[in-house]
Structure 1
Amino acid sequence: MTMLSDWIAAVCAELGLDAQDCERAVVLKVARESASAVARPAAPITAFLLGVAVGRGVPAAEAVARVHRLADGWPRIDWRD
């Protein structure tokens, strides 16, 4: 296991989640896209909001596709907060 895999397993155990449900590659891709298309601080916030949406019943693939479309058309801004 890698450090990241160990971390994911520990967080899932702590939160009572199944580590098999963690779509690591999808989350990292969305974070990378939002960081590049919008701003670096958008990555963790976008990942969190995706998790909230999925937790509320939006299918993960749909949520990711919607965020991807949004990020594609977003003007890049240099955020300083």
Structure 2
Amino acid sequence: MTTLEDWVTAACAELGLDPAEVPVPVVLDLARDVAHQVLRPGAPVSAYLLGVAVGRGADPVAAADRLSALAGGWPVELGDRPPA
């Protein structure tokens, strides 16, 4: 196991979750997209928002794809300001 796998397994045990249900690559890809195309601190916040959406029934892959697409279209000149 890698350190990340060990961490996910331990964190899941702590929270009563099944590690097999954690789409680690999906979350990492989303965090990368937001960090690189929007703002670094937006990465963990976006991961949290993804978790909230999934907790409310959203498909994790579809929700992450939507957020990644939003990040991909984020205007560079806006920096950390939302689009109008």
TM-score over 0.5 (shorter chain): yes
Runs of 4+ in 1 over 6 A off after TM superposition: none
* Cα offsets for 1:5-64 (capped at 9, x unmatched): 111000000000000011111110000000011010011000000000000011112211
The one-letter code of the counterpart of 2:21 is D
Please, what is the CA RMSD of the aligned residues?
A: 1.4
- In structure 2, give the amino acid aligned to 1:6: D
Matches within 5 A, 1:33-72: 33-72=33-72
Query: TM-score, normalised to structure 1's length?
Result: 0.90
* Rounded Cα–Cα distance in structure 2 between residues aligned with 1:74 and 1:19: 32
The equivalent of 1:75 in structure 2 is 75
State yes or no: 1:11 paired with 2:11.
Answer: yes
Distance 1:63 1:45 in 2: 14
**How many matched pairs?**
79
The residue number in structure 1 matching 2:20 is 20
Instruction: Return the letter of the residue paired with 1:39.
Output: L
Unaligned runs of 5+ in 1: none
